[in-house]
Structure 1
Amino acid sequence: MAHTDAAVAACDPGCAAHSAPRAQLSELAQRMLSQTSKHEGAPAVLMLADGTAFFGRACGARGTATGEVCFNTSVEGYFEVLTDPSYAGQIVTMTYPQIGNYGVDLADTQVAPGAPGELAGNVRPPLRALVVRDLCRTPSNWRSTMSLSEYLEERGIVGIEGVDTRALVRHLRETGAQKGIVSTEVLDLAELRALLAAAPELVGQNLVETVSCREAHAYDPGRVPQGHAFAEAPAAPARHHVVVYDCGVKRGILEGLRRAGCELTVVPWDTPAADVLARRPDGVFLSNGPGDPEAATKTYEQVRSLLGKVPVFGICLGHQMMSLAAGARMEKLKYGHRGGNHPVMNLITRRVEITAQNHGFNLVFPSLGELVPELSGGVSEHPTGADGTAETADLRFWVERGIAPVVANERFGRIRLTHVNLNDGTAEGIQFLDIPAFSVQYHPEASPGPTDAHYLFTAFTRLMDGDPDYLDINIARDRLAGWEFAAA
């Protein structure tokens, strides 16, 4: 396969074409580019762990970055994706072909106040690099304060454009998410391969401690930021004091809790449970976060001590922390769930939510315990997958039957499966029936993404109020709460 500009090098890594970087643009192509807003750009290379290489042009900071290559299917919200702490350690590929057309407004950053070191003050987003098909350098939007390329350069994020992202994503879907390297300074593929081999794997790394706050602090955004006032209503008066475990929490999550009437105290990822309980909170929230959940041992050990003593709500990594605290097993998904268009069935209300997701690991629901037949439609055995094991079962089995199954957990009693991903049948939410606690695998706020899951913030306040039916909420009615156009 010819290695021309913007072409994918998907041939055998040992072929001759992989021994040298891509050819420079022709004189005609250089002249044409010089008359546009793009200009030629320095050459850049993305190489995957299996040796597949993609050639393109630099569109951000110059340098070399390694991480797990993943993809996000959102059409918009690229800036919120860039600044989401859950992407720490990853090279993010955007599947939408043109990125950057509406520019950047720093008011949309998802790096929360109190973030550590380099992340503080929005200095540097947590992801390693950005991969796009085409990066727009001339944005058009009334809220834009700079172009995406300017932001990447200013914040030191390596970017590559001109990549056939369709081919890259299809390759990742077939082979699975894998380690990769992006460079604008090292173009020799043999040298890149050596650098990549020396880079750490995502599994086993504790990335949570790199994005969590360093000390406890109160979070109060005050009035709605001016850039958001056209859409967001002022926060409701605070009724509940909630302690938030910061495992890489997004600012949008904190704002969602605050708008639901929660006064927030944010604490580091490894804060002892005794210190949290000493604050006498009405509830504890476990945030989203990056990487391998089993590496965040100090978090789920504290969660184990909190469950049953105070109402608890967990999302994304927080959901995984609650599952691990209950003795469950996690699986690494082949290529993860990342985007704003994932359909999820709420087994309690039988409503479908279009959700925003960003995770690479998932709960193995049968590992929580044996089914309780009388609470699971008479089913006494977990369904099995193609290999004959319950661990690989497609949980849409329960969607088809209209049942929210319940298992008997050795540590915390009865646990119900409440949400199922309709794309692949994986677990998306659980509810503890004998203690006040629930969790979901996705993000309930629209940063970026739909507002269908906004009701989960309301459910948490209802849980703290002692409502036994706290999850039985009309999603359609609740999802626009907190937005100015809700009354229109």
Structure 2
Amino acid sequence: MGTNLSAGIMSAKAAPSDLAQRIMSRTGKGCANAAILMLADGTVFYGRACGAAGTACGEVCFNTSLEGYFEVLTDPSYAGQIVTMTYPQIGNYGIDPDDVQSAYPGSTERGAATPALRGMIVHDMCHTPSNWRSSISLPEYLKDNGIVAVEGVDTRALVRHLRDHGAQQGIISTEVFDLTELEEKLAEAPALVGENLVKTVSCADEYSYAAADLPAAHAFADAAPAPAKYRVVVYDCGIKRGILEGLVRVGCELTVVPWNTPASHVLEMNPDGVFLSNGPGDPDAVEETYAQVQQLIGKVPLFGICLGHQMISLACGAKMEKLKFGHRGGNQPVMNLISHRVEITAQNHGFGLVFPSLGKLIPELSGGETEHPADGDLRVWAQRGIAPVVQNERFGRIRLTHINLNDGTAEGIQLLDSPAFSVQYHPEAAPGPTDAHYLFTAFARLMDGDVDYLDIDISKDRLAGWVFDSEDASATVKTQA
């Protein structure tokens, strides 16, 4: 029926002795109920409950970020998933609501988000955080928001299993421990592939977002935004607040619209540009969005990230593939084939673009090559220092601009005959590194009509959004504190 790979964890059916309860009650963790994780292939892990009581099903995946668990927790792109954090201890700096990334439907007000993910798995949950910004512990937050979570799991063994066998459906529970019953519940749960999760996390109505909406609590670190110059329509497929902030900081006034807003309505707004956001799940299931994108390409400057990148790709007629275990974390190396610089990036996606499906190579723009790499590994282009270009049947020439150096998958494209580009990763550093901050600047330059909008000094731009880059940074920090 499966193997318990969490050595040393007691059987979930066994009640702790009176002595064990007295000992645990005097620790920072206190007494905890048993919890269980079962994967679709029958593998079983036992642990302790550290969130809300209940049972949850979803795709079990893992995130390798060393920090930023709250941003991960409130990222709408995790809808339908049970997230395993690979860093050993989670929750040690608590929760500050100012860092929330989602305004999920059902919240009482925009900014008071309800997490979209199904559950969380950690090795060691910190119940007593230490941080001047923390207002509540992570376990308390999970309980308040109805998120089932498990600690005490050997997350190294779990992650190795997922890497070897692929991300898969799973079920976690603090109330059901019969393996047959868990197996039945898991079999009844909907699969991630083919399910449109975007409609569950998008906004219901249009709303605006401008400089006045930036969180004042972040002013001690963030530089003042650029003066408003561009009117941008944002397709909300599950957008993170950090991305809205990144757009505002380069001078955009935003109108955020639902995921299925008709292209005709967007064009009636006469925007300077359109942004396509991140979002959860299977991109092929979000036809209502990429059908609109197909009508927008060539008519208005476009910038897409993550699911937005997939929407532009699908609008061009490309194919998507489900990655074995996805890219999730803040340490993914990406080569920019235009600047030949490597960016350490934050990512969260389980599907990717099959670049050859966009069209045949144009030899004179691809170093004389006429065939795509037979093994599908795009790192050959980094080795040759070439950003290859294909001829697309719908929109002309499309250039491969970014590749993942871990597995050779596509990470970014640029339409050469229409003002549009996209990347598979997240530039807003919430959480993660700031190497990709330049992409917001690139979008502004695209809207200005700059043909070399991607030719940016990444090392300088990555510091542009912080007060720490200015000569009077220390004085600014003192004043704002």
Q: Which interval holds the TM-score relative to the shorter structure?
A: over 0.9
Of 287, 291, 310, the residue aligned with 2:300 is 310
Q: State the TM-score, normalizing by the size of structure 2.
A: 0.95
Q: 1:2 Cα deviation (Å)?
A: 12
Counterpart position of 1:425 = 408
CA contact (8 A) 1:7 1:55 kept: no
Note the 1:208-357 alignment, pairs <5 A.
208-222=198-212, 224-357=214-347
Counterpart position of 2:356 = 366
CA contact (8 A) 2:170 2:186 kept: yes
CA contact (8 A) 1:3 1:55 kept: no
Q: 1:289 to 1:120 in 2, by over 3 A?
A: farther
Cα offsets for 1:293-341 (capped at 9, x unmatched): 0000000000000000000000000000000000000000000000000
Counterpart position of 2:428 = 445
- Residue 404 of structure 1 pairs with residue 387 of structure 2: yes
Task: Report the Cα distance in structure 2 between the residues aligned to 1:85 and 1:217, rounded to whole angstroms.
Answer: 18
Name the aligned partner's letter for residue 114 of structure 2. Answer: R
Task: Report the Cα distance in structure 1 between the residues aligned to 2:108 and 2:319, rounded to whole angstroms.
Answer: 31
Cα offsets for 1:424-445 (capped at 9, x unmatched): 0000000000010000000011
Name the aligned partner's letter for residue 117 of structure 1. Answer: G
- Residue 171 of structure 1 pairs with residue 161 of structure 2: yes
Task: Report the Cα distance in structure 2 between the residues aligned to 1:330 and 1:355, rounded to whole angstroms.
Answer: 21
- Residue 148 of structure 1 pairs with residue 163 of structure 2: no
> Helix, strand or coil: the match of 2:212?
coil
CA contact (8 A) 1:224 1:233 kept: no
CA contact (8 A) 2:5 2:45 kept: no
> Helix, strand or coil: the match of 1:117?
coil
Q: 1:6 Cα deviation (Å)?
A: 5.2
Q: 1:8 Cα deviation (Å)?
A: 8.0
CA contact (8 A) 2:5 2:154 kept: no
Q: 1:100 to 1:74 in 2, by over 3 A?
A: same
Cα offsets for 1:95-134 (capped at 9, x unmatched): 000000000000000014xx42248553520000010000
Of 14, 18, 24, the residue aligned with 1:23 is 14
Q: 1:222 Cα deviation (Å)?
A: 0.9
Displaced runs of 4 or more, over 4 A: 1-6, 118-121
Task: Report the Cα distance in structure 2 between the residues aligned to 1:255 and 1:126, rounded to whole angstroms.
Answer: 20
Q: 1:455 to 1:8 in 2, by over 3 A?
A: farther
CA contact (8 A) 2:337 2:386 kept: yes
Of 360, 364, 371, the residue aligned with 1:381 is 371
- Residue 102 of structure 1 pairs with residue 85 of structure 2: no
Counterpart position of 1:79 = 70
Of 22, 46, 57, the residue aligned with 1:66 is 57
Q: 1:5 Cα deviation (Å)?
A: 11
> Helix, strand or coil: the match of 2:36?
strand
Mean CA deviation greater in 373-382 or 119-128: 119-128
Q: 1:5 to 1:325 in 2, by over 3 A?
A: closer
Task: Report the Cα distance in structure 2 between the residues aligned to 1:224 and 1:210, rounded to whole angstroms.
Answer: 25
Q: 1:486 Cα deviation (Å)?
A: 1.6
> Helix, strand or coil: the match of 1:160?
strand
Query: RMSD between aligned alpha carbons?
Result: 1.8
CA contact (8 A) 1:223 1:235 kept: no
> Helix, strand or coil: the match of 1:222?
helix
Task: Report the Cα distance in structure 2 between the residues aligned to 1:316 and 1:480, rounded to whole angstroms.
Answer: 23
CA contact (8 A) 1:4 1:23 kept: no
Task: Report the Cα distance in structure 1 between the residues aligned to 2:52 and 2:29, rounded to whole angstroms.
Answer: 15
Structure 1 unaligned blocks of 5 or more = 10-16, 386-392
Task: Report the Cα distance in structure 2 between the residues aligned to 1:293 and 1:228, rounded to whole angstroms.
Answer: 33
Q: State the TM-score, normalizing by the size of structure 1.
A: 0.93
Task: Report the Cα distance in structure 2 between the residues aligned to 1:247 and 1:483, rounded to whole angstroms.
Answer: 28
Mean CA deviation greater in 435-444 or 222-231: 222-231
Q: 1:97 to 1:239 in 2, by over 3 A?
A: same
Task: Report the Cα distance in structure 1 between the residues aligned to 2:454 and 2:412, rounded to whole angstroms.
Answer: 11
Task: Report the Cα distance in structure 1 between the residues aligned to 2:388 and 2:58, rounded to whole angstroms.
Answer: 38
CA contact (8 A) 1:7 1:162 kept: no
Task: Report the Cα distance in structure 2 between the residues aligned to 1:119 and 1:327, rounded to whole angstroms.
Answer: 39
Task: Report the Cα distance in structure 1 between the residues aligned to 2:436 and 2:15, rounded to whole angstroms.
Answer: 48
- Residue 117 of structure 1 pairs with residue 100 of structure 2: no
Task: Report the Cα distance in structure 1 between the residues aligned to 2:4 and 2:370, rounded to whole angstroms.
Answer: 58
Q: 1:8 to 1:331 in 2, by over 3 A?
A: farther
Q: 1:414 to 1:467 in 2, by over 3 A?
A: same
Amino-acid identity (%): 71
Counterpart position of 2:453 = 470
Of 25, 45, 67, the residue aligned with 1:34 is 25
Task: Report the Cα distance in structure 2 between the residues aligned to 1:323 and 1:296, rounded to whole angstroms.
Answer: 12
Task: Report the Cα distance in structure 2 between the residues aligned to 1:302 and 1:216, rounded to whole angstroms.
Answer: 17
Counterpart position of 2:478 = none
Of 409, 417, 422, the residue aligned with 1:434 is 417
CA contact (8 A) 1:3 1:23 kept: no
Q: 1:217 Cα deviation (Å)?
A: 1.3
> Helix, strand or coil: the match of 1:245?
strand
Of 79, 84, 99, the residue aligned with 1:88 is 79
Task: Report the Cα distance in structure 2 between the residues aligned to 1:47 and 1:7, rounded to whole angstroms.
Answer: 15
Counterpart position of 2:7 = 7
Task: Report the Cα distance in structure 1 between the residues aligned to 2:443 and 2:132, rounded to whole angstroms.
Answer: 36
- Residue 191 of structure 1 pairs with residue 174 of structure 2: no
Task: Report the Cα distance in structure 1 between the residues aligned to 2:360 and 2:329, rounded to whole angstroms.
Answer: 32
Name the aligned partner's letter for residue 51 of structure 2. Answer: G
- Residue 457 of structure 1 pairs with residue 440 of structure 2: yes
